[in-house]
């Protein structure tokens, strides 16, 4: 059964139509990517999924639960965490406090310290900087913190919005490798990317968004070979 | 300094810059001239200066407590809670009905600490209830509205609270009970001051330390700081923003409650309009320290209180102004205007443009 099922959602900013009927499925344990140009509606789709934006039509299901009308903070207990575009770490809080905020809803102290260890092992740079203000981290470290913070809630589904944004190629590789590692532990990943080449390499299935509609979908490796996509997004 | 030698810099200077420089120069000249005049005159003794500073710190502590409510709410909601001064009044006023019988029965004198705790708790609970009601009715419905509606609503709430209290209890001034312990003069060398002053200062510092620890060390406090920085992302972390907002109003209301009781014991009276001036002064203190910044509000409160108390004698007397003490409000609000012009981010604040 599909883990996330999005059915014909329409989203508006005021009177401007941003998404006009998008449907897709994410299977349990998969990495699915949503690619497309600037303004195609990728971030809007994720924001609608996590409840930041309301739906005008359509529905979103996680397993059997209809989450169409959920507020953003209700999604964490459902096992979904959204790493927003531009990282959005709490710049004036310490790295440690940022991680603590990721685990805000949890009360299981023992499990929590195990997950904290896991995150700090995955991103050793964060351990060195636990007491530092998060705003003083470099771009790559901030992205690691954003992902680490999200993992602190022990999610089943990770929604990632442009994790490669503004990072040097070496760091992009590092971030994508950690996404693969996270996925191997059984976390379903939904990856929104402009860097279509990298995204299609690690994803199993992909959707191409264009003007608020799904223009194309398919197995990631085949999409990567598709001539149109090569021309439009892979250069 | 380097930039003043660059010809490009001087080309970009506008009339606005020149006007601001002239204003700065004028303020500095007035302050320096007045200060020198006063000091040469030597009209005030060291004991009097000490009195001014002690009274300033006392008022400063109260301003700081109230300013915290303004600054925390602004930090979370980006809204000036103009009803906060009146929330401060409701606490002091309601606590009067507890303090007065306690004073008459003599319990207040005998068990001062217990009585003060009871009185403070009454004021805190009242302030919290009123603050939460205002939040629920006046602010929450407008939270997603990008207009002046919440601001107008805040001003409306302020009048509503004032006049409901006037309607319920009349517009007469009611006297808080005298406490012998508070009136007792304490002497250090040739300086003496009533006991109430150190009590207020210590109580204010104690409450603020408590608040600071809550905000910095607890999970809800951290969630509050996170929400003030980025509300959307905080909610993505599973933080229920409504709960954080309620928590903020509870903290702010409690501080206003304590501040109200202290204020009432300093001036020994309460009436329905008493919240207005301390409220506006505390708002100035919050802006002075950098609105949204918690240590800033504390510093701003003490700073405003002290300058307002010392300022008239120090700056204005030397200019030959008669009875300068009546002009303390002028000093306080001049400082607010100066801060808004020359350092809009406040003493400890960051530039707003960085956060947009």
How far is the CA of B285 from the CAs of A95, B111, B313, B356, in angstroms?
31, 34, 20, 23
- Which residues, 6+ apart, have CB-to-CB distance to B343 below 8 Å? none
Counting Cβ atoms within 10 Å, is residue A6 exposed (0-12), middle (13-18) or buried (19+)?
buried
Give the percent of chain B with pLDDT over 70. 97
Residue B315 belongs to a domain: no
**Across B78-92, average pLDDT:** 91
Say what the pLDDT of residue B320 is: 76
Residue B89 lies in a domain: yes
Domain count, chain B: 1
Position B350 scores a pLDDT of: 63
The pLDDT value recorded for residue B352 is 44
Q: Per-residue pLDDT tens for B127-155?
A: 999 999 999 988 888 887 777 888 888 89
Task: Report the mean per-residue pLDDT for chain B.
Answer: 87
Give CA–CA dist A192/A113, Å, rounded: 30
Q: Which residues of A touch B222 (CB under 8 A)?
A: 93, 97, 100-101
Residue A171: is its pLDDT beyond 80? yes
Inspect the interface and report whether the beta carbons of A100 and B222 lie closer than 8 Å: yes
A169: tokens are 């190629």
What integer pLDDT is reported at residue B125 of this predicted model?
Answer: 95
**Which residues of chain B are within 8 Å of residue A93 when distances are taken between CB atoms?**
222, 225-226, 229
Residue with tokens 């919005």: A161
Whether residue B299 lies inside any domain: the answer is no
Flag whether B8 is in a domain.
Answer: no
First to last CA, chain A: 36
**Alpha helix (H) ranges present in chain A?**
42-49, 95-102, 109-122, 124-128, 139-151, 169-184, 196-202, 220-225, 227-229
Kindly determine whether residue A77 and residue B238, on different chains, have CB atoms separated by under 8 Å: yes
Comparing CA positions, the residue from B78, B125, B134 lying closest to residue B292 is: B78
B317: in domain: no
Inter-residue contact A156 to A185 (CB < 8 Å):
no
The strand pairing partners of A12, in sequence order, are A17
Band the pLDDT of B223: cuts 50, 70, 90.
very high
- What are chain A's domains? 2-234 (3.40.50.300)
More confident residue, B350 or A58: A58
Cross-chain residue pair A101–B226, CB shorter than 8 Å: yes
Within a domain: B348: no
Give the sheet arrangement for strand A31-36, strand by strand. Answer: A80-83, A157-161, A188-193, A31-36, A205-210, A213-219
Mean pLDDT across B336-347: 82
Q: What is the C-alpha to C-alpha distance for residues A78 and A74, in angstroms, rounded to an integer? A: 7
What's B147's DSSP letter? S
Question: Which residues form the domain of B95?
Answer: 56-284
Q: What is the pLDDT of residue B260?
A: 92
Q: In A, what residues contact B, Cβ < 8 A?
A: 50, 52, 71-73, 75-77, 81-82, 84, 88, 90-93, 97, 100-102, 104-105, 149, 153
In a domain, B80, yes or no: yes
Chain B interface mutation, best of A44, A100, A101, highest count of B Cβ atoms under 10 Å: A101
| Across B183-208, average pLDDT | 87
Question: Which percentage of chain B shows pLDDT scores above 90?
Answer: 39
Tell me: pLDDT of B282 over 90: yes
Dihedral of the alpha carbons of B217, B218, B222, B223, in degrees to the nearest 10: 180
In the predicted model, what is the mean pLDDT of residues B15-27? 86
Mean pLDDT (chain A, rounded): 88
Kindly determine whether residue B226 and residue A90, on different chains, have CB atoms separated by under 8 Å. yes
**Residues of chain A with C-beta less than 8 angstroms from the C-beta of B230:** 88, 90
DSSP state of A233: I
Across residues B97-101, what is the average pLDDT? Answer: 89
The residue of chain B nearest to residue A149, with distances taken between CA atoms, is B237
Report the C-alpha gap between A122 and A106 in whole angstroms. 21
Q: Do A149 and B222 touch (CB under 8 A)?
A: no
For residue B355, list chain A residues with Cβ-Cβ distance below 8 A. none
Please give the Cα distance from A80 to A154 (Å, whole number).
9
Q: Contact at 8 Å (CB) between B74 and B80?
A: yes
Collapsed DSSP state (helix, strand, coil) of residue B345? coil
CA distance A11 to A27: 23
Cα-Cα-Cα-Cα torsion B288, B293, B294, B295, nearest 10 degrees, comes to -70
Alpha helices in B42-170 (DSSP H): 46-77, 84-105, 107-110, 112-134, 149-169
Rounded to a whole number, what is the distance in angstroms from the first to the last CA of chain B?
29
Nearest to B238 among A52, A92, A105 (CB): A105
- Are the beta carbons of A71 and B235 separated by less than 8 Å? yes
> Within 10 A of B200 (CB to CB), how many other CB atoms are there?
25
CA distances from A222 to A27, A216, A230, B112, B346 (A): 18, 11, 11, 81, 58
Confidence (pLDDT) at B327: 82
Q: Which of B238, B296, B351 to mutate to test the interface with A (most CBs of A within 10 A)?
A: B238
Average of pLDDT values for B25-51?
85
CA distance A78 to A81: 9
DSSP B350: P
In B, which residues are within 8 Å of A76 by CB distance?
Answer: 236-238
CA distance B82 to B154: 5
Residues in chain B whose beta carbon is closer than 8 A to a beta carbon of chain A?
A: 219, 222-223, 225-226, 229-230, 232-241
Rounded alpha-carbon distances, angstroms, from residue B343 to B32, B67, B301, B340: 20, 18, 17, 6
How high is the ipTM of this complex? Answer: 0.88
> Of B221, B271, B216, which is closest to residue B243 (Cα–Cα)?
B221
pLDDT, residue B354, reads: 37
Asked if residue B197 belongs to a domain, the reply is yes
**Per residue in B314-332, pLDDT tens?**
888 777 777 777 888 888 8
Token look-up 């930041």 returns A52
In the predicted model, what is the mean pLDDT of residues A99-113?
A: 88
Whose tokens are 């319920």? That residue is B168
């Amino acid at each position: 059964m599909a883990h996330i099922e999005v059915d014909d959602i329409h989203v508006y900013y005021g009177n401007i139509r941003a998404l006009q009927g998008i449907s897709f499925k994410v299977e349990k344990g998969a990495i699915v990517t949503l690619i497309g140009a600037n303004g195609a509606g990728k971030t809007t789709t994720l924001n609608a999924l996590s409840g930041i934006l309301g739906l005008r039509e359509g529905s979103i299901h996680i397993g059997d639960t209809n989450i169409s009308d959920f507020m953003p903070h209700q999604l964490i207990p459902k096992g979904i965490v959204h790493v927003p575009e531009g990282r959005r770490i709490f710049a004036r809080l310490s790295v440690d406090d940022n991680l603590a905020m990721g685990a805000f809803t949890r009360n299981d102290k023992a499990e929590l310290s195990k997950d904290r260890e896991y995150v700090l092992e995955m991103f050793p740079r964060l351990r060195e900087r636990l007491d530092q203000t998060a705003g003083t981290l470099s771009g790559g470290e901030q992205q690691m913190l954003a992902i680490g913070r999200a993992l602190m809630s022990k999610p089943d589904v990770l929604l990632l919005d442009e994790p490669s944004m503004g990072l040097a190629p070496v760091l992009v590789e590092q971030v994508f490798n950690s996404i693969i590692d996270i996925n191997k532990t059984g976390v379903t990943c939904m990856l929104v990317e402009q860097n279509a080449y990298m995204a299609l390499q690690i994803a199993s299935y992909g959707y191409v968004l264009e003007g608020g509609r799904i223009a194309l979908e398919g197995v990631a490796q085949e999409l990567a070979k598709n001539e149109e996509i090569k021309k439009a997004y892979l250069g | 300094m380097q930039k003043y030698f660059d010809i490009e810099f001087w080309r970009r200077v506008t009339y606005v810059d020149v006007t601001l420089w002239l204003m700065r120069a004028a303020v500095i000249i007035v302050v320096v001239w007045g200060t020198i005049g006063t000091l040469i005159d030597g009209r005030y003794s060291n004991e009097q200066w000490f009195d001014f500073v002690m009274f300033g710190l006392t008022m400063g502590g109260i301003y700081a407590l109230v300013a915290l409510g303004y600054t925390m709410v602004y930090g979370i909601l980006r809204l000036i809670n103009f009803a906060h001064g009146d929330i401060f009044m409701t606490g002091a006023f309601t606590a009067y009905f507890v303090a007065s019988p306690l004073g008459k029965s003599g319990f207040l004198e005998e068990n001062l600490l217990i009585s003060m705790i009871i009185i403070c708790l009454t004021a805190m609970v009242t302030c919290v209830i009123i603050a939460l009601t205002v939040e629920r009715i006046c602010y929450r419905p407008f939270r997603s509205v990008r207009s002046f509606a919440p601001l107008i609503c805040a001003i409306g709430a302020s009048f509503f609270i004032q006049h409901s209290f006037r309607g319920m209890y009349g517009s007469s001034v009611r006297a808080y009970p005298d406490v012998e312990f508070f009136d007792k003069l304490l002497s250090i060398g040739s300086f003496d001051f009533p006991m109430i002053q150190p009590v207020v200062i210590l109580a204010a510092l104690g409450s603020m330390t408590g608040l600071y620890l809550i905000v910095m060390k607890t999970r809800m406090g951290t969630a509050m700081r996170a929400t003030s920085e980025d509300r959307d992302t905080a909610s993505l972390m599973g933080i229920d923003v409504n709960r954080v907002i309620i928590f903020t109003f509870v903290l702010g209301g409690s501080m206003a409650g304590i501040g109200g009781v202290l204020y009432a014991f300093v001036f020994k009276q309460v009436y329905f309009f008493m919240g207005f001036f301390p409220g506006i002064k505390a708002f100035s203190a919050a802006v002075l320290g950098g609105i949204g910044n918690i240590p800033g509000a504390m510093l701003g409160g003490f700073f405003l209180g002290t300058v307002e108390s010392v300022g008239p004698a120090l700056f204005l007397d030397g200019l030959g102004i008669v009875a300068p003490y009546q002009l303390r409000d002028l000093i306080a609000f001049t400082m607010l205007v100066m801060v808004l012009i020359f350092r809009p981010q406040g003493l400890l604040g960051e530039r707003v443009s960085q956060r947009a």
